[in-house]
Homo-oligomer: A and B are copies of this chain.
């Protein structure tokens, strides 16, 4: 570890993983934490438990705001473990002088999104700190979900699975970047921020054999695939041209010098689904408004264990690595 914490330590990529494993996991070591993915599975497998703090800047952006994000983020983490979001806590740290009207707007967004999930806020905490001690408002939500389907885990992905995404990727990262740089878009680019439980519920109800799910937040699809390849000791081979990316996101990527697969998402998830169920899963996902581009993007092989390979349409191959460096701070 470096002597000081850098922005890269919060990027969802390599440096972030190092900080988590060398400082937090090392101290807090226990069996549940070690198996913990987007959420921890507790209470004999019956409940999922997760937490997330949100620091996004700007607070309001195309498609969502920090309030919607704070509910989606934690509820999605629960949904990814096959759990129905039930109880949330909401803890806010507000900078002195913050406008009450903006706070009310944020809280209204939270309420709306809670309803989509069928979840309620049962406890909270409110801190106000002097000007300059925090930038406007940070929100933490922690959530408990009821596990509807046990055994969903990114440790068990095998060559029997195909790799899917539910929609076109990178919209959240591109939107925040555009908003922050003051780029005027003549296009409908907006954050994909959305509650994923309805999609997960539809897949579970149809008894789709889901091995693993993960929302591709900080570090994007690249971070998820690399983590899965390591956890399940597999090689994931992705067909580059199959990854759905909108023209707007591609444009922003060129400006940023990023790959779309490294951009953050807030309503986009990757699935590992048993081969025989993959087409049916795609059909189900496509019935959702923002998922017309749901598709199979890759497969599992043993070509390079613990690695992700990107196959281009010209027949070339390259590794898709876990993102590193600063990426975009305060993305969520």
A interface with B by C-beta (< 8 Å): 1-11, 16, 19-20, 23-24, 27-28, 30, 32-33, 36, 39-40, 42-43, 47, 49-53, 55, 57, 86-87, 89-101, 103-104, 107-108, 110-111, 114, 120-130, 132-135, 138, 140, 142, 144, 329-330
User: Can you show 9 pairs from A to B with CB atoms below 8 A apart?
Assistant: A5-B103, A9-B126, A24-B124, A27-B104, A28-B90, A40-B89, A40-B122, A49-B123, A129-B330
Are A52 and B91 in touch, CB under 8 angstroms?
A: yes
Distance of A111 Cα from B260 Cα, bound (Å) = 38
Known: A10-B94, A27-B107, A96-B329. 18 other contacts (CB 8 A): A3-B99, A3-B101, A7-B129, A7-B130, A8-B128, A9-B126, A10-B128, A24-B90, A24-B107, A24-B126, A33-B124, A36-B123, A49-B122, A51-B90, A53-B93, A55-B134, A129-B330, A138-B138
Are A127 and B53 in touch, CB under 8 angstroms?
A: yes
Q: Find chain B residues with CB under 8 A from A19 CB.
A: 126
Q: Find chain B residues with CB under 8 A from A55 CB.
A: 93, 127, 129, 133-134
Are B130 and A132 in touch, CB under 8 angstroms?
A: no
Are A120 and B33 in touch, CB under 8 angstroms?
A: yes
CB proximity of A9 to chain B, nearest CB, Å: 5
Contact status of A33 and B122, CB under 8 A, knowing A9-B128, A27-B107, A51-B91: yes
Contact status of A3 and B87, CB under 8 A, knowing A9-B128, A20-B126, A122-B36: no
Are B10 and A121 in touch, CB under 8 angstroms?
A: no
Are B111 and A27 in touch, CB under 8 angstroms?
A: yes
- Residue of B6, B23, B49, B103 near A23 (CB, 8 A) is B103
Instruction: Please give me the residue from chain B that is nearest to A33 by CB atom.
Output: B122
Instruction: Please give me the residue from chain B that is nearest to A146 by CB atom.
Output: B43
CB proximity of A215 to chain B, nearest CB, Å: 13
Are B138 and A134 in touch, CB under 8 angstroms?
A: yes
Are B33 and A125 in touch, CB under 8 angstroms?
A: no
CB proximity of A300 to chain B, nearest CB, Å: 27
Are A50 and B89 in touch, CB under 8 angstroms?
A: yes
CB proximity of A73 to chain B, nearest CB, Å: 9
